[in-house]
Amino acid sequence: MQSAAATALAMTWTARLLAGSIAVQASEMLVVRRAFGDDGPFVWRVARERGALDRVLTHGFIALQVAELMLALLLSCCSSPWVVGPLFVCALLTTLRFRGGYNGGSDAMTIVVLLGLTVATLARELGANDVWQRVGLGYIAAQLVLSYFVAGCAKLRDAAWRQGDALGRLVRTRQYAVPSRFAHWLSWPLCSRVLGTFVVLFELATPLVFVEPHVAYGFFAVSAGFHLAIAIVLGLNRFVWAWLAAYPALWLFTLGNLR
């Protein structure tokens, strides 16, 4: 596939998948909007700091989520910097509201994809060389691979992961409310050890996609299954959509380069 055509295709699918991811996030915020009121657990005054953004992050927070949802729907059919840029600002303000993320890593990955796509679409809008569009998508691809590799390195340093009982401990954590059948299987020592070792090896091996592009076939299959399993077992559904939105960028620099 020609470079320009592959870049355009990657940008299109990044925008579409990101639109779906942000629409899910904003919709969830609106469903639990009472939690952000004065009597809710996420009331802003708990950690508020007086400033120019105070009004936006208090009374205007729900309006911010509505705007984010509308922009996400628009992004699904129009990948313009005039859509992606405001979406980036909305997502950043939402992250500021929670002092670093409402849903952890998925919020961070959303910011990464939005930033990279903003650069890519702005370069296209300004008529810049195709290289600058690939710079934005390259940032997304690099951060995607690093997200796995760094997580693998952190697990490797953790004695619980090296000994094979980390998964068993994780599923017994109350905050995730893991279904009993999954908790039972993953608490079994052999299962916990085998799956835990597989997760660490998979995460550490992800940089190989840049060495041998064909490895990407296995990467996309395993990583998609990995995030789907996390959503089913731990209930972290946002991780599926946030990471999926970054896949087209990685495809561009791996399988998209194959002739």
pTM for the structure as a whole: 0.90
- Which of these ranges, 74-83, 112-121, 175-184, 240-249, has the smallest mean pLDDT? 175-184
Percentage of the chain with pLDDT > 70? 88
pLDDT of 49 over the 60 cut: no
What pLDDT is attached to residue 160? 87
Tens-digit pLDDT profile for residues 191-204: 888 988 999 999 99
Percentage of the chain with pLDDT > 90? 49
Confidence band, pLDDT 50/70/90 cuts, at residue 152: very high
What pLDDT is attached to residue 40? 64
Residue type, 252: L
pLDDT of 48 over the 60 cut: no
Tens-digit pLDDT profile for residues 207-253: 999 988 889 999 999 999 999 988 888 888 888 999 999 999 999 99
Confidence band, pLDDT 50/70/90 cuts, at residue 139: very high
What pLDDT is attached to residue 21? 95
What pLDDT is attached to residue 151? 94
Q: What are phi and psi of 103, to 5 degrees?
A: -130, 35
pLDDT of 206 over the 70 cut: yes
